[in-house]
Amino acid sequence: MAYPHSVQLTDELSKITLAHLRDPDGRCALRLSKEFNNERASTSANIRFRLSGRLEEAASLAQTSLDSPRLVHFPTPRDFLPEERDVFDAAARWYVEIFGDRQATSAGTYDFSTPRSELGINLVGGAGLRFITDEGLPEIRILQYAGRSAIPETLFDSPEARFSMLRNEAWISSTGSPLLVTVADLIRGEALVQSISPETLLTACNDWLATCVERIRERVIEPKPSMGTDCAWCGFISSCDAVMK
């Protein structure tokens, strides 16, 4: 998803991403501290996100006016590696299969971050795709790519859904309408679709956020590095004494 606004974080606010909230105790404390304090990571650590970004941008552009998505809206990126192209094409096919019968209009892009000054943080990262349905209702589509989380039984069971609700809270509240939410895995071809009154879920999501942020603050007081699978995607590995010694 392309961001139309400045991507400069507010210096006074710490960065919180979905990865931090999904498992506040699972990430290396040193990496967590560096990310929390807005230290710049190597760009190579962000390469794996380009597939999702490119597909979600195409999905949003496919419905800039009231329409349904079709495969023609998802041309295979020429700059992708062959295996990336295969995954992109498979994800595009499932996106059209799941959403192809839904006429809707894109509700535009979101800001790069959502400041939560009362917690001293910025929420940073993908917020899902926003649409207005042909019936005039707000809709959020949360797309997964066979990653860490299976399709949930309820929206609160999905960290991705909770994070999206928090990132879109102002927009959701401004609509004053029931909300249609879809969590879709575009590799497995699975989806959860729910129409909800969002107030109760938003309250639960905010409670979850406050609890996670409190735990993260505890862990970054005296951070120490720890080696594990998390190292594979760490943008600070070149300066990590635990790995490079």
* pLDDT at 45 (0 to 100): 47
The reply to whether 23 falls in a domain is no
- The domain in which residue 191 lies consists of 47-210
The reply to whether 241 falls in a domain is no
3-state secondary structure of 116: strand
Does residue 82 contact residue 27 with C-beta atoms inside 8 Å?
Answer: no
The reply to whether 18 falls in a domain is no
The reply to whether 131 falls in a domain is yes
Q: Which residues of the chain have pLDDT under 70?
A: 1-11, 42-48, 147-149, 242-245
Residues whose CB falls within 8 Å of the CB of residue 31, separated by 6 or more in sequence, listed in order? 225, 230, 234, 236
The reply to whether 119 falls in a domain is yes
* pLDDT at 46 (0 to 100): 55
* pLDDT at 3 (0 to 100): 35
The reply to whether 223 falls in a domain is no
Specify burial of residue 56 (Cβ count, 10 A radius: 0-12, 13-18, 19+).
Answer: buried
The reply to whether 17 falls in a domain is no
Kindly state the DSSP code that residue 147 receives in the 8-state scheme.
-
* pLDDT at 147 (0 to 100): 63
Whole-model pTM: value is 0.86
* pLDDT at 1 (0 to 100): 40
> What is the tally of structural domains in the chain?
1
3-state secondary structure of 144: strand
Determine phi and psi for 239, rounding to 5 degrees.
Answer: -115, 15
The reply to whether 93 falls in a domain is yes
